[in-house]
Amino acid sequence: MLDSRLLVVENQLEKSTLEKVNDPFLKAAGVHLWMKRDDRLHPIISGNKWRKLKYIVEHALLLQPRCLISMGGQYSNHLHALAFVGKQLGLPTVAWIRGDPPLEFNRTLKDLADWGMELHFISRSEYRELRKIKDYDGLPERYGTGYWLSEGGANPLALKGVAELVGEISEPCDYFCLPCGTGTTLAGIASSVTGDFTVLGFVAFKGGAYLKDEISALLPYQVARQSWQLNLDYHFGGFAKTSPQLLAFVDDFSATTGIMIEPTYTGKMLYGIYDLVKQNYFKKGQSIIALHTGGLQSIRAPR
């Protein structure tokens, strides 16, 4: 039974639906695309955020830490969700943020501060070092004492929450596609699905080949029950980088389908899926389920 404090958060969630994407382009190509609308779960803890945080925070609550400590960029969806959850639980939160403190806080940082998160800014090189710390109790003391959540909530405990979304899918498919940052969400899917389909992760940043090892390390006892692959081709120059084509695609997709997406994760994945459809990567009649991982708050970042 989930901790009653977490139930209070979970009870605020809306239903994540599975919706067929109606797009004449896909129809002409004979490919069926469905979206698992995790963006619908909540305006803030949307997408994969609560899925990943739920059992990590449950573990943290058992240990009664002074606070939750984590790291992220200046538009981090992960920190945004964590600060909100911390406020809901009455548990202080602390963040180590990449880069110099800005002269003026953007709207994400303002939210973090408003929700009581203690913010510290660190250099990019220090940030890279901090990234290596994965264990909840492995944070060097100079960064504070509390329960440590590594970047993006990359922790084996996150897999259990992600796996719950698989149980909500009733439609058969040939491919299950999702965007990847740390690869934790992919690991959660790959560890739990048993259907006859391929899990295809679209890596949202450049040079992501190493993610293969990181994902394998997260998977329980080396077993991915499902075959999974990474596509490294749709990073658009780096994390959170865009191009006029990508931004035009995101706008067109939202206008055609009525599904709002952002360009950092779900936008890059969908651009990749559409491009692969053009290249006949998918066979006529095949079905794809694509995970909408939320993150719409990041649209407030300047383009």
Ligand X SMILES: Cc1ncc(COP(=O)(O)O)c(C=O)c1O
Contact residues for ligand X (CB under 6 A)? 47-48, 77-78, 152, 179-185, 265, 293-295
**Owner of token pair 């149980």:** 167
Nearer Cβ to ligand X (16/184): 184
Q: How far is the CB of 158 from ligand X (least distance, A)?
A: 7
Pairing of strands 93-98, 175-180: unpaired
Min. distance of Cβ 263 from ligand X in angstroms?
11
- Work out how close the CB of 227 gets to ligand X at its nearest, in angstroms, rounded to a whole number: 18
CB of 252 to ligand X, least distance (A): 20
Burial of 63: CB neighbours in 10 Å, binned 0-12, 13-18, 19+ = exposed
CB-wise, 9 or 296, nearer to ligand X?
A: 296
Q: How far is the CB of 81 from ligand X (least distance, A)?
A: 8
Closer Cβ to ligand X, 7 or 50, answer by number: 50
18: how many CB neighbours lie within 10 A of its CB? 14
| Measured torsion, CA atoms of residues 251, 183, 288, 255, in degrees rounded to the nearest 10 | -10
In angstroms, the CA 80 to CA 113 distance is 10
Give the closest residue to 46 by CA, choosing from 2, 77, 88.
77
Half-sphere exposure of 112 (CA within 13 A, CB side): 29
Comparison of 33 and 269: residue with beta carbon closer to ligand X: 269
Q: Which residue is nearest to ligand X (CB)?
A: 295
Instruction: Decide whether 184 or 242 has the Cβ nearer to ligand X.
Output: 184
Please name the residues in contact with 164: beta carbons below 8 A apart, sequence gap of 6 or more. 51
